[in-house]
Amino acid sequence: MKRALVVAVFGVMAVAGIAGCAAGAAARGDSVTCVSWAAFESEESRIEAADLVVDVDAVQPDGTSDVYGYAANAYRLSGVSMLKGDLTDIRDLRVASTADNCASPAYANGDPMLQKGPLRLYLSFDSGQWITLSPFDGVRPAP
């Protein structure tokens, strides 16, 4: 009986995940994986998880970039101060704003990179590019 319940629950979760995951990609026939985002409860936990932490004065839109199979908004940064990490040249830093690719729209609460500056960014290096930690914990107002 327990095995049947586990299979039934897994089946319902799989169907719900597929049905709600990236409607735009499904319409195009693309395959998209829904990401399960870690929650960072404190400034310290975000800093610890990030490869690079920077404060920036401003961001300028710079097209899109593929992040986890989704065309995420990308930005060039200006007025960059490095708080954590090791970059020799921070003058031409490009960052993709990680989107919730299984929400509709992907930036349901607006792109966090478009907040009024200055901003603190918590970044990971993934697939040859800098991306925000998550759609929810990658951008905060700078102190």
Q: What is the pLDDT of residue 7?
A: 34
Tokens for 8? Answer: 């039934």
Is the pLDDT at 69 greater than 90? The verdict is no
- Provide the residue ranges of all domains of the chain, joining segments of one domain with +: 1-34, 38-141
Higher pLDDT, 30 or 12: 30
Is the pLDDT at 108 greater than 90? The verdict is no
- Which segments of the chain are extended strands (E)? 52-56, 58-67, 70-78, 81-84, 94-96, 119-126, 129-132, 139-141
38-141, which class in CATH? mainly beta
Buried b (16+ CB within 10 A) or exposed e, 60-74: eeeeebebbebbbbb
Q: What is the pLDDT of residue 29?
A: 57
Model confidence pLDDT, tens digit, residues 13-52: 333 343 344 444 444 556 656 767 788 889 999 999 999 9
